[in-house]
Amino acid sequence: MLLCYYGLRGVSLLILPFVRNPIGLTAFAILFGLDYIATVPPTTALVADLFGRRNVGTVFGWVFFAHQIGAASASWLGGVARDTIGDYVLTFVVAGGIAIVAGVLALQIGRTPKGEQPIAPVAPIGNLA
């Protein structure tokens, strides 16, 4: 799911700088708006599967924190690119490329299938009370 969502987001960002009419901008707004928050539920489920339900709030809090650092950096760097180059085309192309790469990287995340538990660590020898 994350591959589809990030891929769709990336393609829409790659196309945006070349949209020249209100219909195209409306299509982008609908596509990007529907896709924008769609990554949160699968990411939360992935965090729960990998780190356990008891830790989901803490771990997802760190995920959200990291997201905010990236968002702030991207906003600032987008402004730097605009001031340096004179437009936002490079900013949207780079953001689209990063989103597509994120989708491909999401496929690399290992996930324990539901119903299976990770192997528990072995107790140290000599602790046989």
Band the pLDDT of 110: cuts 50, 70, 90.
Answer: confident
Name every residue whose Cβ is closer than 8 Å to that of residue 96 and which is 6 or more positions away in sequence.
9, 10, 11, 12, 13, 14, 15, 16
Q: What is the mean pLDDT of residues 54-73?
A: 94
Q: Is 126's pLDDT higher than 60?
A: no
Phi-psi region of 86 (alpha: psi -120 to 50; beta: other; left: phi over 0): left
Q: Give pLDDT, residue 127.
A: 54
> What's the whole-number average pLDDT of the chain?
87
Cα separations (Å) of 40 from 12, 52, 123? 18, 17, 37
SS (H, E, C) 41-68: HHHHHHHHHHHCHHHHHHHHHHHHHHHH
Q: What is the mean pLDDT of residues 92-107?
A: 94
Q: pTM for the full model?
A: 0.77
Band the pLDDT of 21: cuts 50, 70, 90.
Answer: very high
Distance CA(5)–CA(36), nearest Å, equals 8
Tens of pLDDT, residue by residue over 32-44, are 888 888 889 999 9
Q: Give pLDDT, residue 121.
A: 54
For the chain, what are the domain ranges? 2-106
Q: Is 71's pLDDT higher than 60?
A: yes
Q: What is the mean pLDDT of residues 88-111?
A: 92
